[in-house]
Structure 1
Amino acid sequence: MLGVLPAQLPWWVAGPGVGLCVLALYGLANLRLGVSGAWLAATVAPVERWRGDRWRVVFLVGLIAGALLAALLGPPVSIHRYGQLSVLLSPPLLVPVLLVAGVLLGYGSRWAGGCTSGHGLAGCPAGSPDSWAATVTFFAVAVVVTLGLHALTGGAL
């Protein structure tokens, strides 16, 4: 698009930037940053007739608007295949797999009381034992599933 922004920020800019956002929200407003809470407040709360926090909806809108702005100001966006899974599965098989995975992730996020980013980036630094347990569980399951898929597919995944 306009090419004003780089394709990717260096880790030493992006990492501290996210950390400062988490710290500012927690230090100034005693609130924890997390995307699943924002998603629930914006989508599930109205359907289930409970009132989500307004700041979470604003955060989600800002997150989406920021991504669109970065796409506009950054280098041209190109859509690539979905990694190695696209090589192994045709689109008619890939779409249902991704849909089921997304639903399971959403259900797990709600069940765990937050998503991986919320627990790992906001809950753990705040010293929440629940967030530590959830984050360790997320990573342990990810390692086991990755090793299992690697073994089942003969190294293709």
Structure 2
Amino acid sequence: MLKIVGAMMVISCCSIIGMGFAAELKNRVKSLTGLISALTIMKSEICDLLTPMPELLRLIAEQSSIPVKTFFENCLAFLTEGRTVSFSKAWEYAARETVSMQLTPDEVSALSELGLSLGRYDIDEQKTALTRTINKLEIYMARAEEEKRRKGKVCAAMGVSTGLMIAIIMV
């Protein structure tokens, strides 16, 4: 009886781990989608309304969902807490520190590059930088969706299979 309970616990734990990996893939797609939406809002706010950066960061943080909201809140916090930090550094720190978005190093790099242009150049240059970053993130999102489609079910199935294999060996 104790072996059966142990086997069920092993199967459950391995299944949860596999599903956790699948959820990470799903969350990455969600983060990229949210970032693209937020940057699109940012582009229209900068080009049409000339909204100042701190106010814009606050506005986008209020309108965004959790992983993207955290990024913009972190950026605003870095910008307002330490007055010596430039906007580009605050943006870069926020991109690197917001691990809940589960972005790859290439995606973080693309996001960090955008911070070098925002608030520094004229509106047309900022619009161009935002458009370029949105296009890059859309490419990364397409790859992430493909990876989620291919690997999501595999991760969940591998978790269950590994749990079953260990349980069979135990019993």
Same fold (TM over 0.5): no
Report the TM-score, using the length of structure 2 for normalisation: 0.23
Higher helix share: 2
Higher relative contact order (CA 8 A, sep 6+): 2
Which structure is larger by alpha-carbon Rg, 1 or 2? 2
Report the TM-score, using the length of structure 1 for normalisation: 0.25
